[in-house]
Amino acid sequence: MFNRFSLRALSAAAIGLCTIFTVAPTYAQSATNYPNKSVKVVVGFSAGGGLDVLARIVSQRMSEQTGQQFIVDNKPGAGSNIAGEFVARSAPDGYTLLHTNAALMSINPALYTKMSFSPMKELIPLSQLVRLPLVVTVRPELPIKTLAELRDYARANPGKLNMGSGGNGGSPHLALELFKSQNKVNIVHVPYKGSADALKDMLGGSIDVMIDAISVSAPQIKAGKVRAIAIAGDQRSPALPEVPTSAEAGMPEYTMMGWQGWVAPAGTPKEIVAKLSDELQKALRDPATKRKIEEAGYFVVGGNADEFAALLAKDAPRYADLVKMSGAKLD
């Protein structure tokens, strides 16, 4: 004979079963119909910078493909840690994503003594989008036209040159530290909340050098407002075919290639991850989108979530070594 406790237990079990069988189909359906509303694509740097440019190109195509708006939301600061934590703490439903690079995923964990979250644990890869060489630029008023002349000028004027970047710990910052270490020079690093802000000051004359994504400064280079002296990569860029690589400039050991990709909060359903990855590959194959990306100075890569995860696993120790070599540390 059932007592009141047995009836309560049965009622609780029934409620639990109802919860299981009502929640699970809804979860699966959300993946099948995804996306059925606008998607926020967070960028950890200010508008106009290298990440922002690509994020907007890809988001526009994703909007066209899916019929839902992929809206870029800039949240600059702390080397993109602010944006990364915002996305990591967001609902893992595919409606808040992060357009990121090596700064957040691979560099910051080695650069910052304390982080309020773990990028590699709390964010999961969707797809690498591009590989990008960095271009070394200087103010045209300076008597510097080659990497060797930059080295010689910095040696003759220690601490007088400064370099602006989109923030501490990013690939441009480490590219400077690598150049300084290899050439035994003193160039002052000036971090901004975004590359566009640094470029603005370079055009105003208060920043001497920048090492950043080609997309950041290509229009100013072509207009003659800044001078490109080398590509810090292993091949010339179609966007700037006249600019030599660092190897061609006599410094083959000076190479810094970045990447950009999309990640999502950990716990995002596998079905949504797979769909996003597939849609991103489709976007990158679109001829008009591919042309825009290449004109901005990137090499289109693509790849699924597993391939992107393999890149992240390979990057982490490499950048940790570079951070250690640079001596850079942030609180």
Looking at residue 235, its pLDDT comes to 85
Q: Are 102 and 171 in contact (CB under 8 A)?
A: yes
Please tell me if the domain spanning 32-129+260-326 has the same topology as the one spanning 133-231: yes
Domain range annotation of the chain: 32-129+260-326, 133-231
Interval 75-131: pLDDT, tens: 998 889 999 999 999 999 999 999 999 889 999 999 888 899 999 999 999 999 999
Own/partner pairs, 251-257, CB within 8 angstroms, 24+ separation: 251/147, 251/148, 251/182, 253/182, 254/147, 254/178, 254/179, 254/182, 256/133, 256/134, 256/171, 256/174, 256/175, 256/178, 256/211, 256/232, 257/131, 257/132, 257/133, 257/134, 257/232, 257/233
Max Cα–Cα distance, the chain, nearest Å: 97
Rg, C-alpha atoms of the chain: 23
The stretches in the chain having pLDDT less than 50 are 1-29
Looking at residue 6, its pLDDT comes to 41
CATH number listed for the domain at residues 133-231: 3.40.190.10
| Token couple for 88 | 């990591």
Q: What is the DSSP string of 91-117?
A: -SSSSEEEEEEHIIIIIHHHHBS--SS
Looking at residue 30, its pLDDT comes to 57
| Number of neighbouring beta carbons within 10 Å of residue 95 | 20
* pTM, entire model: 0.75
Tell me which CATH homologous superfamily contains domain 32-129+260-326: Bordetella uptake gene, domain 1 (3.40.190.150)
Looking at residue 140, its pLDDT comes to 96
